[in-house]
Structure 1
Amino acid sequence: MDEPVFVIHGVGNRDEADFARTVAGLRTATGLALVPVYWGDLGADDRFVDLALPRHRPARDTGLRDVEEAPPDAEESMAVLESLFGPSASAPALLRDAGEPPAALADALRAAMGAADDGLRGPGGHPDPDDVLAALAELWPTARWLALVDDPGLLRATGTALAAAVLEEGTDDSWAGLRGPGDEKGLRPLLRRRLHDLDRVAGAAVQAVAGRVNHQLRAHYGPGATRFLGDVLVYQRHRAAIHARVRERIDAVAPGLGRDPEHPVRVAAHSLGGVIAVDMATAADPLWTSSLLTFGSQPAYFHLCDPRGGQLPPYADEKPVPLPRSLARWTNLWQPLDALAFAASRVFRLADGTPPVDVPLPHTASAGLWTHSAYWRLPEVADAVRGTFAAG
């Protein structure tokens, strides 16, 4: 058998056969003797984690959408939008004078009414745009959702819709008492009704978008993040048992491999598997490792947050942490959209004084947003495995 390369998986792996197939595909792509090291059965029990996740509130029938999923309220919707886009998502509304319709809306209303001008103004004709805007300014603070809008296109559409409502009311004497109290046929009551209708539509749209974004983010990122945190917690408490599993797998293939500097092991590791590999290679009784390839991994991050011990001193005085001779070479791959991938070259130094080699991988559209599990399918990873280990 060719000199083996032991492949340690990361978080969230609960299917040993599936992991073996993944490594087999990488073995075919590289032509190397890759050996899967499975420890997922020792990881977190995530069967019931849904019980700890917030649930949707009971559905409410708003009359504007299906009742299968309740929309978030205004505060929750804005919290979702601000968490995605920052405080600027609602800042425009805060910076505007709440009593003054935005310029884009006002300009569109003037333009629409000007285009329909038939020379009829005042009693018995269309009201003057200035009168319409004055009445609208009084009503604008009641617009809960439109007051948050800063998109020019939506504001122009709102202004045009309000102008159309005014123009379609007709040219009868209903415009005579424009702002008379209790005059439900006057301009102000009409604008109040139309503004309310448009505001409800805008609110339903914002809530629908925010609700779907919130749900999709939870559905997309929730399982991966939950399994990551769960496996990290279990590894911190049961590190010895997982290390023993790795050594058992290595001994089953080549007894004594990795036990001394004359018989080092070669390791490729994903995610938390990279932390396991570095912890073992730098332990007081190390797993002697001639070449290590990590991808989407966190050893540097974990060591900065909580020094790993073994032969590694804490990071201090802005000086890189020296790695022992038991970890001879280290290449670290990361994807730009993988929030769980960290660089190593600024934190560590190998025994020969060189840093680990950090290699950024290009993001591919097929990887989607959750890229932490995409490494196994990337040809760049297969190339890196081949380049790191083919020379022996």
Structure 2
Amino acid sequence: MTSVVFVHGTGVRIESYEKSFTRVSRGMTKARPDAEMVRCYWGDTCGASLGMDGASIPVRDRNRGVLDEPPADDPTALWAVLLAEPFAELRAYAAETEAGGTGAGFVPGRRDPWEVFAESVRTLPTDGLEVSPELAPYLHRALDRVASELDLLPAGSPRDGGVNTLTARAVTAVVLHLADDAEEDSDPLPVDGDDRDAFVEQLAERFAGLLGGTDRAFGRVGTSAKWLGGQALQSLLWDHSELAVRYRRGLTGKAVPATGDILRYQARGTELRSRVADTVRNTRAAAPDRPVVLIAHSLGGIACVDLLAMEPSLKVDLLVTVGSQAPFLYEMDALTGLRRGEPLPDSFPRWLNVYDDRDLLGFVASKVFPGRAEDHRVDTRQPFPWSHSAYFAHRKLYDWLGKELP
């Protein structure tokens, strides 16, 4: 057997860690049944908190600033909008439909087509839909919420089959919001982009089969998504930047675990590194003949690189960093355990570094440590910051890890 120690990243507290540990254990069990998972939770005593009830946080209003229009040539930008405002796409489409005069107008005794469509969404049969256990409990609530939104859309026509995909994306976004709100931790719910889009496709086909029509009559969805991604995202960022200042105290308090852990590590990193080192030693002592593997996310990866560079006697057979900033800190000469220009010690284990292009907190290591670190790119197809939490929901990651574990 192989012992796999899972070290979490910044902002994680015990409830979130247990869920992540269960998720990683489930994935590793499928890929490598011989792997024994070992907990390494450090957010309790090594994590940050506001010890004076936020006395240092000022609160003031300011006028809105002017934002340049953000680029919208990536379909992921659309999901960045929908994960902030699930109904943005439907509202923009309904307004455009009404402005274009495609509706049939008011007819006495005739129900508005949006109301008819809304009722069909509300009563949509969900049996047979493939949805993860983490999202399934929220599907019916999401359908009802989207149906209520459809009831409020301007008079007009949803066109034959034209809104199947738009509605499916809205339902999926609401499901993700409901599931994420139910989580008490600060990280976005880990969801893989492939799974998300497969669920959207299932819903769109279900709408098409129930209501008639397909999305072939709505070929402009792909191109209009670019426009919507830019326009809606600009508006949302504008509004949210205003709210961020107005409600800074609450927002800062919620952000402390994520950002504070990083700052605290820079000043008090010995505590975290000691926690990891003790876990490795205890794991090795319990089963001396087993290989020991460290899988470390985000800040946990920084701590593990520092630790293994500073303590050559600590025996680890493989280090896997996921969404880590360690190479970035080394390049800035800000890594605690190793100065820029210094090589990794000979005792440093094989290092596999996992990153996603869309994760703005994930960096590559092979160019910084040539010959000593190997990069592995994954594509969770999630926008940032969801991409930073989506690694361990990505099934292909475990298929790859299963082949790399000693």
Q: Name the counterpart of 2:77.
A: none
Deviations 1:217-264 (A, max 9, x none): 899x97886533311111122222212211222333332889xxx986
User: Which of 374, 384, 391 pairs up with 2:400?
Assistant: 384
- The answer for unaligned runs of 5 or more in structure 2 is 72-231
Of residues 12-21 and 37-46 in structure 1, the stretch that sits farther from structure 2 once superposed is 12-21
Deviations 1:293-348 (A, max 9, x none): 111001111122235355x4422xxxxx5222222311111111211111111111
Shift of 1:54: 6.6
User: Which of 352, 358, 361 pairs up with 1:340?
Assistant: 361
User: Which of 37, 41, 50 pairs up with 1:38?
Assistant: 41
Q: Pick 1 or 2: higher relative contact order, CA cutoff 8 A, min separation 6.
A: 2
Q: Distance in 2 between matches of 1:210 and 1:308?
A: 33
Q: Distance in 2 between matches of 1:83 and 1:297?
A: 30
Q: Distance in 1 between matches of 2:290 and 2:12?
A: 29
Is residue 4–residue 34 contact of structure 1 (8 Å, CA) maintained in 2? yes
Deviations 1:65-114 (A, max 9, x none): xxxxxxx74xx241xx13856xxxxxxxxxxxxxxxxxxxxxxxxxxxxx
- Cα distance 1:33–1:272, how it changes in 2: closer, same or farther (>3 A)? same
- Cα distance 1:282–1:215, how it changes in 2: closer, same or farther (>3 A)? same
Alignment of 1:240-319 (within 5 A): 240-255=270-285, 265-308=292-335, 310=337, 312-315=338-341
2:6 maps to amino acid: V
Q: Name the counterpart of 1:25.
A: 26
Q: Name the counterpart of 1:4.
A: 3
Is residue 267–residue 293 contact of structure 1 (8 Å, CA) maintained in 2? yes
Q: Distance in 2 between matches of 1:243 and 1:206?
A: 40
Deviations 1:15-73 (A, max 9, x none): 1533432333233333222212111111111588877667574xxxxxxxxxxxxxx74
Q: Distance in 2 between matches of 1:369 and 1:269?
A: 18
Match of 1:341, SS state, is: coil
1:314 maps to amino acid: R
Deviations 1:345-371 (A, max 9, x none): 11114xxxx241112211424x66431
Q: Distance in 1 between matches of 2:272 and 2:286?
A: 18
- Cα distance 1:82–1:26, how it changes in 2: closer, same or farther (>3 A)? same
Q: Name the counterpart of 1:101.
A: none
Is residue 270–residue 295 contact of structure 1 (8 Å, CA) maintained in 2? yes
- Cα distance 1:370–1:225, how it changes in 2: closer, same or farther (>3 A)? farther
Is residue 6–residue 35 contact of structure 1 (8 Å, CA) maintained in 2? yes
- Cα distance 1:324–1:385, how it changes in 2: closer, same or farther (>3 A)? same
TM norm structure 2: 0.50
Q: Name the counterpart of 2:269.
A: 239
Q: Name the counterpart of 2:68.
A: 82
Is residue 23–residue 36 contact of structure 1 (8 Å, CA) maintained in 2? no
Match of 2:2, SS state, is: coil
- Cα distance 1:372–1:355, how it changes in 2: closer, same or farther (>3 A)? same
Of residues 356-365 and 336-345 in structure 1, the stretch that sits farther from structure 2 once superposed is 356-365
Paired residues, number: 238
Q: Name the counterpart of 2:391.
A: 375
Q: Distance in 1 between matches of 2:330 and 2:380?
A: 27
Q: Name the counterpart of 2:136.
A: none
Q: Name the counterpart of 1:199.
A: none
- Cα distance 1:50–1:325, how it changes in 2: closer, same or farther (>3 A)? same
- Cα distance 1:55–1:380, how it changes in 2: closer, same or farther (>3 A)? farther
Match of 1:228, SS state, is: helix
Is residue 269–residue 294 contact of structure 1 (8 Å, CA) maintained in 2? yes
Is residue 23–residue 35 contact of structure 1 (8 Å, CA) maintained in 2? no
Is residue 271–residue 295 contact of structure 1 (8 Å, CA) maintained in 2? yes
Does residue 360 of structure 1 match 2:386? no
Alignment of 1:36-75 (within 5 A): 36-41=39-44, 42-45=46-49, 55=59, 57=61, 73=63
Paired-residue identity, %: 28
Q: Name the counterpart of 2:351.
A: 330
1:10 maps to amino acid: G
Q: Distance in 2 between matches of 1:304 and 1:14?
A: 29
Q: Distance in 1 between matches of 2:233 and 2:26?
A: 45
Match of 2:5, SS state, is: strand
Q: Distance in 2 between matches of 1:84 and 1:322?
A: 40
Match of 1:254, SS state, is: helix
Match of 2:318, SS state, is: strand
2:5 maps to amino acid: F
Q: Distance in 1 between matches of 2:294 and 2:255?
A: 25
Is residue 291–residue 327 contact of structure 1 (8 Å, CA) maintained in 2? no
Larger Rg: 1
Is residue 28–residue 402 contact of structure 2 (8 Å, CA) maintained in 1? no
CA RMSD of aligned residues (A): 3.7
Q: Distance in 2 between matches of 1:328 and 1:206?
A: 43
TM norm structure 1: 0.51
Q: Distance in 1 between matches of 2:364 and 2:253?
A: 24
- Cα distance 1:356–1:209, how it changes in 2: closer, same or farther (>3 A)? closer
Q: Name the counterpart of 1:163.
A: none
Is residue 12–residue 224 contact of structure 1 (8 Å, CA) maintained in 2? no
- Cα distance 1:256–1:286, how it changes in 2: closer, same or farther (>3 A)? farther
Alignment of 1:149-298 (within 5 A): 209=236, 211-214=238-241, 226-255=256-285, 265-298=292-325
- The answer for unaligned runs of 5 or more in structure 1 is 58-71, 86-204, 316-320
